[in-house]
Structure 1
Amino acid sequence: MRFHSRKWVKPEDLNANETLFGGKVLAWIDEEAALYSIIQLENKKVVTKYMSEINFMSTAVKGDIIEIGIEVVKFGKTSLTLNCEVRNKMTHETIVTVDNIIMVNLGADGKPVAHNKTKIEYVVDRLASKE
């Protein structure tokens, strides 16, 4: 699993128990999945279709630094299936896991369109191939 983003847990991210609000971390996961998919599929028009069971395993408190990891599970014809782990950066304790996040590639008309991708591509490799 590659961890791409870090977030600093601030007072506005907390619930009434003074721990990280689940809705906030889910928004961060959705954004990270979208960014990852946009980069992989080279298309800004990507949407979340599905998130499987979300497993809250521990929590974070104000001042913690968390990191969000994304991994590709499968390339579909018009979709990309990911899994996600959110963990505490300092302790590596898992906070949340999501086994399946399905992101769909859209065309200019807003309908699913084939992306013709079959493997993970890294931006550095794309840039090297254009030289």
Structure 2
Amino acid sequence: MRFHTRKWIKPQDLNPNGTLFGGRVLEWIDEECALYSIIQLENPKTVTKYMSEINFQNSAKKGDIIEIGIEVLKFGTTSIQLRCEVRNKMTRSSIISIEKIIMVTLDENGKPKPHGKTKVEFVKDRLNDKS
């Protein structure tokens, strides 16, 4: 799994218990998966279709640094299936994991659109291919 993004837990990210608000971390996961999928599938019209059970394992508190990791499980015709884990950067303890997230590419009419991708591609390789 590759960990792409780090977040510093600030007061506005906390729930009334003084720990990381679940809704905030889900917002960050959804955004990270969307950005990752848009880049992989080369389509800015990519949306979240499905998230499996969400498993909160540990919490984070103000001042903690967390990181968001994404792993590609498979490519569908119009979709990409991901796994996500958020962990504490310093302790490596898992905060939340989602075993299955499906992102779908859409056409200009909002209908699923085939993307033609079959494997993970890195932007640096795409740029080298087009030179």
Shorter chain as normaliser: what TM range?
over 0.9
Percentage of pairs with the same residue: 69
Q: Deviations over 1:49-108 (max 9, x none)?
A: 000000000000000010000010010000000000000011111000000000000011
Which residues of 2 match residues 1-131 of structure 1 at below 5 A?
Answer: 1-131=1-131
Output the CA distance in 2 between the equivalents of 1:31 and 1:92: 22
Unaligned runs of 5+ in 2: none
Describe the SS at the equivalent of 1:72: strand
Describe the SS at the equivalent of 1:92: coil
What root-mean-square deviation, in Å, do the aligned CA atoms of Structure 1 and Structure 2 show?
0.4
Output the CA distance in 2 between the equivalents of 1:99 and 1:85: 8
TM-score by length of 1: 0.99
One-letter code of the match for 2:120? Answer: I
Output the CA distance in 2 between the equivalents of 1:32 and 1:64: 19
Output the CA distance in 2 between the equivalents of 1:110 and 1:6: 31
Describe the SS at the equivalent of 1:82: strand
Unaligned runs of 5+ in 1: none
Q: How many residues align?
A: 131
One-letter code of the match for 1:24? Answer: R
Output the CA distance in 2 between the equivalents of 1:84 and 1:107: 26
TM-score by length of 2: 0.99
Spell out structure 1 runs of 4+ moving beyond 3 A: none
